[in-house]
Amino acid sequence: MTSDFPWLSFSILFPIVGAFIVPFFPDEGDGKKVRWFALAISLITFLITVTAYIKGYDIKQDGLQLAERVSWLPDLGLTWAVGADGLSMPLILLSSFITALAVLAAWPVTFKPKLFFFLILAMDGGQIAVFAVQDMLLFFLAWELELLPVYLLLAIWGGKKRQYAATKFIIYTAGSSLFILLAALGMGFFGGGTPNFEYTHLAQQGFDTGFQLLCYGGLLIAFGVKLPIVPLHTWLPDAHGEATAPVHMLLAGILLKMGGYALLRFNAQLLPEAHAQFAPLLIVLGVVNIIYAALTSFAQRNLKRKIAYSSISHMGFVLIGIGSFSSLGTSGAMLQMISHGLIGASLFFLVGATYDRTRTLQLNEMGGVGQKMKIMFALWTVCSLASLALPGMSGFVSELMVFAGFVTDEVYTLPFRVVMAGFAAIGVILTPIYLLSMLREIFFGKENSELITNNKLVDAEPREIYIISSLLVPIIGIGLYPRIMTDSYIASIDGLVERDLGAIERVKTSTSIPRIQTQPHPALITAPEFKIKRVQ
């Protein structure tokens, strides 16, 4: 439905305009005033997105809502088209929420504070734009513009190897974005005539299977870098290893979700025939992510890199959910993105807070600080339990939905489901082992007397407790009553799954294209009875 007020455009442009006011904001150079201004802008942006959800979004409707459309450059087919559905609205809320907390986490920043908060606010608008725009060329522009603030935040405020990490990030992400541009141009100009890049138009184009496969492969690489998918993941541990706590929160809480969202939006929704053939590969890649990253996390002695590999492992469940053809599994993938955004942001904030006290990230240099920082230990414990999918937390619900949706998905053969689920379960076993051992090494064991003597190990401050509490409220709320979140997107998920199931039938029965393109993957059953089941 169409909105009476341009809520989404307002939520995109408001923080960007606020960012350009930051350089002219009166401040003495220490950031004590400008940080309050940045916090106010980010909080108002969050309230704008919440208002848009309450006033203009109908959770029962499958389709575009809050739609706004302005012809921008008609000769190029570029349109300012924004809107929201179940795939984007929850992530818009998540993005503005995490950014507001990231601004609060940046309270101690005193080095070039105006530039720092300028970049954070510019990112806020860019991230919301990625989820809200409904034009593929505009999506590419938002995707690219969002990369520059991240690069600068890494290169200027990062650790000792910040230049290497920032350069690697921009090479991986900007280089892979070329595939988005090529796919957008190919899809927008498909069929000749005036180019049109709007999602609603592209969904009705009826691309032939060969063209879909070509676009799908390129987009899988582009979005696989951002998700990230092994082996396209190597930029992430380096970026996390050098980033500050607020940038950690944005990387883990929002940026990784862009890859998962884009796979759902473009690969699964706009290229359904290709998705029917690539889906088993997504399942395999998801299992590889889960096991490889969990095992690698074991070997990490750097706290940031350990949590970074944990994030890669958890995003494997998103791939499995996207690759499933069940409403339950795909809904679980969506919930996993939201859940990991909250949990990942909380863990990386705690990593930054711990480093501020101990001045080290090496686990073998820590130990025995639990008695000095009891509240910090409690916060670490709760967030780690959420990450290892303790029942009652959002991570448990999302991973259970992915597992149940995939295992009961009759589209795949039984042997394939059993083997893949069995391997994925290994990651579920490994996660609590490396997370709980991490807690033991940080807070218990033999005290490092030099560390305790040379550092002021103060306990958690009220600001830090507030940030973690703000993240734990939705984590526990979703864990106890998942429909708080699933109801907001289930209508769109049902429509997406139904479209993909129909694509499987078209691929099997089509005779107008070569036979090699009409055969579904061997892991898919050839003649199932499809039924969409609503997640309760």
Q: Which of 288, 275, 386, 348 is nearest to 98 (CA)?
A: 348
Q: CA-to-CA distance for 380 and 390, rounded, in angstroms? A: 14
Q: Which residues of 108-128 are buried (b: 16+ CB within 10 A; e: fewer)?
A: ebeeebbbbbbbbbbbbbbbb
Same domain? 437 vs 483: yes
Same domain? 327 vs 475: yes
pLDDT, one tens digit per residue, over 515-531 is 334 455 667 664 344 34
Q: Which residues in the chain land under pLDDT 50?
A: 1-2, 511-518, 526-536
Same domain? 340 vs 476: yes
Q: Which residue, 235, 264, 293, sits at the end of a domain?
A: 264
In the block, tokens 């002219």 appear at 24
Indicate whether 436 belongs to any domain.
yes
Same domain? 235 vs 130: yes
In the block, tokens 């053809």 appear at 325
Polymer length of the chain: 536
Indicate whether 360 belongs to any domain.
yes
Predicted local distance difference test score (pLDDT) of residue 455: 66
Question: What residues contact 206, with CB distance under 8 A and at least 6 apart?
Answer: none
Phi and psi at residue 212, to the nearest 5°: -65, -45
Q: CA-to-CA distance for 534 and 490, rounded, in angstroms? A: 7
Predicted local distance difference test score (pLDDT) of residue 530: 39
Q: Which of 200, 229, 212 is nearest to 316 (CA)?
A: 229
Same domain? 291 vs 226: no
Q: Which of 247, 257, 393 is nearest to 317 (CA)?
A: 257
Q: CA-to-CA distance for 346 and 245, rounded, in angstroms? A: 10
Helices (H) and strands (E) in the chain, counts: 23, 2
Which residue range(s) make up the domain with 115? 1-264
Same domain? 207 vs 345: no
Predicted local distance difference test score (pLDDT) of residue 166: 94
| Helices 394-407 and 303-323, axial angle in degrees (round to 10) | 40
Predicted local distance difference test score (pLDDT) of residue 313: 95
Question: What residues contact 209, with CB distance under 8 A and at least 6 apart?
Answer: 273, 274, 507, 510, 513, 517, 518
Predicted local distance difference test score (pLDDT) of residue 306: 94
Indicate whether 370 belongs to any domain.
yes
Predicted local distance difference test score (pLDDT) of residue 533: 44
* Distance of alpha carbon 286 from the chain centroid: 15
Q: CA-to-CA distance for 332 and 401, rounded, in angstroms? A: 5
Q: CA-to-CA distance for 55 and 230, rounded, in angstroms? A: 40
DSSP three-state, residue 3: coil
Residue type, 489: Y
Contact (CB, 8 A) for 253 and 93:
no
Same domain? 375 vs 420: yes
Same domain? 254 vs 292: no
Same domain? 229 vs 371: no
Contact (CB, 8 A) for 294 and 322:
no
Same domain? 220 vs 318: no
Predicted local distance difference test score (pLDDT) of residue 126: 94
When divided into structural domains, the chain yields a total of 2
Same domain? 257 vs 286: no
Q: Which residue, 209, 231, 264, sits at the end of a domain?
A: 264
Q: Which residue, 233, 264, 295, sits at the end of a domain?
A: 264
Quote the radius of gyration of the chain (alpha carbons, Å): 23
Please give the model's pTM, rounded to 2 decimal places. Answer: 0.92
Q: CA-to-CA distance for 89 and 53, rounded, in angstroms? A: 7
Indicate whether 270 belongs to any domain.
no
Indicate whether 214 belongs to any domain.
yes
Sequence-ordered alpha helix ranges (H) in 359-461: 374-387, 394-407, 414-443, 449-454
Same domain? 192 vs 100: yes
